Amino acid sequence: MNWPLRQDTAFFPPVAAPRVSGHLDCGDGHQIWWELTGDPAGVPVVVVHGGPGGAIRPYYRRLIDPDRQQGVFFDQRGCGQSLPAGALDRNTTPDLVTDMERLRAHLGFGRWIVLGGSWGSTLALAYAQAHPQRVAGLVVSGVYLARAFDQWWWWQGVGHVFPEVFAARDAWLPAAERSDPRGAFLRRIRDPDPAIHREAAHVLMMAEGQTLDLWPVAPGEDFAEITDGAVRSARIFAHYEAHDYFLAPDQLLRDAARLAGIPGAIIAGRSDMCTPPQSAWDLAQAWSDARLHIVPAAGHRWNDEQLCRPIIAELARLTGAG
């Protein structure tokens, strides 16, 4: 889904096309798509998209200062323009961490700033904990720590804020399975029969799109149809969710000490219903080198000007431009 920008004053000007792009062969059947924008001599900022199963979006380029930073964008395994599309084999969090390090070496960067939002924050944290010596700075928003609480909140907790949306979602399930919507939807989305997984993905996507934050659904955010790409995205999401994101319980908080010495920022929208500010708070208690911003009038997505103002400001600080 290409969400429209809600406001347009905080972002850098649109970038029509990347400066250079290509596929990087991962050596195991996967090829990840990457792009560079901005100043070739600028500080590299790698942008980690959400999902799992998302993709880089053109408006992400507008988070990067074209005069001082070099934007590095990539589609994770099976996502966007990466090949093979929708592939689940050898598609795990450790694989994605390895891909990021492979991409950094391929592009010749000694260190880079890492920016991740939503699931991208999860992967950004996992990468930074695995390769702290390669991270010049770390900015995460919409923090998702993949704990049991975080999964419960996404599947059931937010339904206390949007009871009518979740009631409509769960009404699609047989009555006997409604007490465990996570298990019921994951079984169907992972089912090999397109007639089953496509409809389940559509129902889940409609509910998610209406509950990411407290803002009304905006024009252009239409969930009446589901594309083949959205189905692939949902199946990648279900693959990761069913395996607890290929992380040990509480791994990202447990290993937060590995972030010591990395300057960074944690940014949460007060109205973010997908990844509530509690997760950002918990991470901030474990990572003392990060600045915590809880933004009163902000939601979850990177099309939100209020959320992106501190993201852009923190990237400028870490770049040395602010």
* Cβ 230 vs Cβ 205: under 8 Å: yes
The Cα 14–Cα 19 span in angstroms is: 13
Residue in 272, 279, 293, 304 annotated catalytic: 272
**How many CA atoms within 13 Å lie on the side-chain side of 235?**
25
The Cα 303–Cα 288 span in angstroms is: 28
The Cα 74–Cα 248 span in angstroms is: 25
Q: Is residue 118 annotated as part of the catalytic site, yes or no?
A: yes
The Cα 115–Cα 100 span in angstroms is: 12
Measured on CA atoms in the order 193, 199, 204, 205, is the torsion positive or negative? positive
Residue in 75, 170, 300, 304 annotated catalytic: 300
Measured on CA atoms in the order 223, 226, 232, 238, is the torsion positive or negative? positive
Whole-number Cα distances in Å, 75 to 100, 128, 148: 10, 18, 27
* Cβ 186 vs Cβ 241: under 8 Å: yes
Residue in 30, 65, 75, 118 annotated catalytic: 118
Q: Is residue 272 annotated as part of the catalytic site, yes or no?
A: yes
Which are the catalytic amino acids? Answer: 118, 272, 300
